[in-house]
Amino acid sequence: MNIGTAARQSGLPAKTIRYYEDIGLLKADRAANGYRDYSKHDVHRLRFVQRARSLGFSVGECRQLLSLYSDRERASADVKAIAAEKLGQIERKIVELTELHDMLGHLMDNCRGDARPECPIIDGLSGSTSGP
């Protein structure tokens, strides 16, 4: 099948699929006319990548996962290790964003948000009122 069909079936834009081929993540056969030709198996792998990406795996990690996906002998521990690493990253990011959230929320709570110019948010950013 052509790239457009593969795109619809995998949920990835054709541009992205070409990009993945470009970086050597997933290559397709070529038809006689030069068009990329995708099998069902190719589409499965594209969907696999699409899901992994949407779960926050980087393209590099998708590359690893793809090779683990294709390897019927590999231990599930290998996959779990990658997932655990990613889970840790996600947790750290959540903590970081939560701190950010609280800090910004704190500044906002103290800002009246009216027509007057006094603004604790700006003061907080400029550091003028945060000193000891």
Instruction: Using CB under 8 A, list all residues that contact a second copy.
Output: 44, 47-48, 51-52, 55-56, 65, 68-69, 72-77, 79-81, 83-84, 86-87, 90-91, 93-94, 97-98, 100-101, 103-105, 107-108, 111-119, 121-122, 124-127
**Residues 59-78, interacting with DNA (CB under 7 A):** 59-60
Among 5, 67, 70, 110, binds DNA (CB under 7 A): 5
Nearer to a second copy, 33 or 128 (CB): 128
With CA atoms as reference, report the closest residue to 10 among 56, 104, 1.
1
Contact assessment for residue 28 and residue 42, using Cβ atoms and an 8 Å cutoff: yes
Q: Is 13 in the site for DNA (CB under 7 A)?
A: yes
- CA 38 – CA 45 distance, rounded (Å): 11
